[in-house]
Amino acid sequence: MPITHQLLAVLVALIWGTNFVFIELGLNDLPPFLFASLRFTFAALPLVFILPRPKVPWRYLIAYGVLIGFGQFGLLFWVMGSHMSPGLASLVIQMQAVFTIFLALMLFKETIRWPQIIALVISFTGIALIALKGNSDATSIGLAVILVAALSWAAGNLVVKRCGKVSIIAFLAWSSMFSVPPLALMSYYYEGSELVSASLAAAPWQAWAIVLWQTLGNTLIGYGLWNLLLQRHAAALVAPWALLVPVFGMAASSVFLGESMPWWKWVAAILIIAGLVINLRSTQSPLTPVRVP
């Protein structure tokens, strides 16, 4: 990846990592599925009336909308509502990097180098450390559900790879239309019309500002840049950059939400960054072929 694309990947990780703080703050005023419904409603409107539909099959727009809107963010918001701390949520959902790489290997026949495998093992040693030491910050059902969210994110990554080069913003806007129905139905079923109405009526301006940032910053800018990188590089190269998200996420949660940062979180962050560096170095130089006698 050229240096400009590497910087874009870091910017995306910074946006996504700090976004966990905004999600936590938004959940103080809005129930999770309503919160996610508003986010994707504003991502779709009014852009779908301005931008032409991207030239991809409808099934790709539907799949991406459902996988990212409901599968990733609907479940993530629900987990963060009462089942997992923001810093830990930012970490566990990065299982998407592993899911993305192995789904790409199976479906697209992409290749992976041994240093990349070693890098992933090192990075996920850090994830395992936090999962082991931080289990008091998460329920068992929360951990299971956020792994489903990570798998949905990974599947959404591969939908983007399948689409090829399309207008990113148009793709996000049109696919967001298909995020809203399952989120709205889940909000009605799980949260109830009375809570939805009361939350909308009582939400302060700060809550609406957070919804706006979810739409513009996290969805259109963050996912716009991420999908741009996925279009131009192998999924196995792009996905590990998301391992920086929990580093930014834990730091932001510590500074702005007072989440504790004991030694083992710092060790885990170092392991994650070390794995990312190894992965990048392995892609910047050719590997010597193994000769079989």
| pLDDT at 285 > cutoff 60 | no
Can you tell me the mean pLDDT for 43-64?
94
Tell me which of 115-124, 200-209, 251-260 is least confident.
115-124
Confidence (pLDDT) at 293: 34
Closest CA to 206 of 20, 17, 11, 24: 24
| pLDDT at 43 > cutoff 80 | yes
CB 192 within 8 A of CB 252: no
Neighbours of 157 (CB within 10 A): 27
pLDDT mean across residues, the chain: 86
| pLDDT at 116 > cutoff 80 | no
| pLDDT at 64 > cutoff 60 | yes
CB 202 within 8 A of CB 28: no
pLDDT tier at 171, thresholds 50, 70, 90? very high
Confidence (pLDDT) at 289: 37
CB 26 within 8 A of CB 206: no
Q: What is the pTM for the complete model shown?
A: 0.83
Most confident of 74-78, 246-250, 283-287: 74-78
| pLDDT at 271 > cutoff 70 | yes
- Tokens 């910074």 correspond to 14
The CA distance from 257 to 140, in Å, is 23
